[in-house]
Structures are given as structure tokens and as C-alpha cells.
Structure 1
Amino acid sequence: MLSQTVEYALRAVVWLAAHEDGQTTHAIADGTKVPASYLSKVLQGLQRADLVLSRRGVGGGFVLARSPRTIRVLDVVQAVDPLVRIRTCPLGNPAHGTGLCPLHRRLDDAIASVERAFGSTTIDELTGSKVNDRALCPAGSLPTT
């Protein structure tokens, strides 16, 4: 349901929440297992949304623009790949008028539920076990099926 861009953005923001000093793109990429070239684009989107800051010079790098207690997961999602609510029939069926058919009503309800969940979850809540200098999901920590 969520794009790879959103996944990468959330990994980067969680990493930055656990590292108050400036983090280079390569350090974030190594710690989050995100390709550095793709991560650069993701960080630009987060910077445009005023979620991260870029500092130049010694000790520079990327940092969160504000406390992880005030950044919601929804803020990150909307910055890089916004959730889109269904307001009118995607099929353009004039019989639906301004309402939605049962299918599209349910789909929109699901999107609304995701918005509520992400809007009530802060980045700080996602760093409960503190990331420190290890990868977010170290090799061997994921279940195999």
C-alpha cells in the first residue's frame, strides 16, 4: 500500500531521530540500507517539507528540522508520496453524482483510517528501542518464510 519512497523516507527520518548530530547521506544510507542515490532524492523531498535540514561544513549533514515528538508519520508520508482520498467516482460515473459507490466508499474509508493512524503516531514512538549505530533492520533479524 505504501510506496518504496515512503518506506525509505520513514527509515531516514527514524535514523535521524536517533542521531542528533549531522548525518551524511552515505551514513544514513548505510544505516538504513537505502541506496544513496535514491536517498538523496528522498531527503530533498523531506527538506522541501521542512522536516529535515541540511548543514554544510565540518559536523554537517542532515538533521531533523524539529523534535521527533512533533513529527508525525503522516507528515513524512505526505512529504514524499501523499495519500490521496477518493472524493469523486474514479470511473467518472455520472450516476454516482457527488457520492461514492460502495466499493470506492470502502476504499476511501481505508485511506481515512490509515491517515488517522499515521496522524496519531509520532516519529519518536518509532524510535523506542533507539537505533544508535546499528542498521534499523540488521541482517538476520527479519523472519524467513
Structure 2
Amino acid sequence: MISDTAEYALRAVVWLVQTPDESQTTRQIAEGTRTPLDYQSKVLQLLAKSGITKSQRGTGGGIRLNVSPDGLTVLDVINAVDPIQRIHSCPLGLKEHGTCLCPMHRGLNDAVKTVEAAFKNTLVADLLKTRSKSVPLGIDLPLRAPRKPKQATA
């Protein structure tokens, strides 16, 4: 239903929620989320570009979640790395269909719309608050909101 890119982004965000007070290296995130290092590196760049994560180079640097999981939706994460595609006009390019989708394409678009709404209504925090035998990434993560970065003093 979602791409590997979106899956890896969700794994990375869930991983970063567990350590809001410390930066993680790309390698730590890739190992912790069981994702290929090179692929996860590209995913993390997309998350940083969208503002979901923040990265800092150098000693003591690394990657952190830049937003609270209490305000971050699954759709936000997915759209940051591989936006969900909707059908706005006939994929076959039939002029007679124009923007009036045929029943097949309207049905497909409606299904995508339903999935999109479910992702929009699911907070990352909700994924972590649900208690079951099967927890995200196989780790029982405590849910804590990330701390705001310390302000530099002049």
C-alpha cells in the first residue's frame, strides 16, 4: 500500500521518538530500524528537508526529531518522502473523460482518499500509545515529546 521509502521514514520517526534528548547517527537509525544504510540515509535527508527531523554535522551531531509526535501524522511522514498520488484526470488520457473520472478510476481514487484520510487521522504518538503484544520495531518505546532545543547564549 505504501512504498518502502514511506515505510522506512515511519520506522525512522518511531525510532527517533525513543531518544528525544540525544542525536542519532544514520547508522544507528538504520540498524535500529532494520533498514539498508544507504537507503535510510536518503530517507533521512527527505525528512530533514521537510522539517520533520533536524540534522547537525560534526562531533556531537546527528539526527533528531524536530516536531512532537503528538502533532505529527502518519500522512505528514509519508508525504514528506513519497507523497500519495491521487487521480485527477483520466490516466489513459481519454479526452472524453477529461477530469470526469470513469467509474473504475473514480473508485480507485476514492479508495486512495479513504486511506489518505486514515493516515491523516493517525498521529505518530497514537502508534506508540497502543499497547499490544506487537509493538513498533519490536521495542517497547516510552512516549515522550522531544525537548525544545536549548537557545544559544551570546
Which stretch shows the higher mean deviation, 58-67 or 110-119? 58-67
Matches within 5 A, 1:88-107: 88-107=89-108
**AA partner of residue 15 (structure 2):** W
Partners of 2:112 and 2:63 lie apart in 1 by: 31
Which stretch shows the higher mean deviation, 53-62 or 85-94? 53-62
**Percent identity among equivalent residues?**
51
Matches within 5 A, 1:71-86: 71-86=72-87
Matched residue, 2:42: 41
Q: How far off its partner does 1:43 sit?
A: 0.2
Matches within 5 A, 1:48-67: 48-67=49-68
Q: How far off its partner does 1:13 sit?
A: 0.5
Root-mean-square deviation (Å): 2.0
Cα displacement string for residues 89-114 of structure 1 (whole angstroms, at most 9, x for unaligned residues)? 00011221321000000100011111
Q: How far off its partner does 1:60 sit?
A: 2.6
Partners of 1:110 and 1:3 lie apart in 2 by: 17
Matched residue, 1:11: 11
Partners of 2:93 and 2:3 lie apart in 1 by: 26
Could you tell me which runs of 5 or more consecutive residues in structure 2 were left unpaired when the two chains were aligned: 140-154
Which stretch shows the higher mean deviation, 91-100 or 41-50? 91-100
**Runs ≥4 residues deviating over 3 A:** 56-59
TM-score by length of 1: 0.86
Partners of 2:101 and 2:138 lie apart in 1 by: 40
Matched residue, 2:151: none
Cα displacement string for residues 98-135 of structure 1 (whole angstroms, at most 9, x for unaligned residues)? 210000001000111111011111111122269xxxx8
Cα displacement string for residues 73-95 of structure 1 (whole angstroms, at most 9, x for unaligned residues)? 11111111111110100001122
| Number of corresponding residues | 135
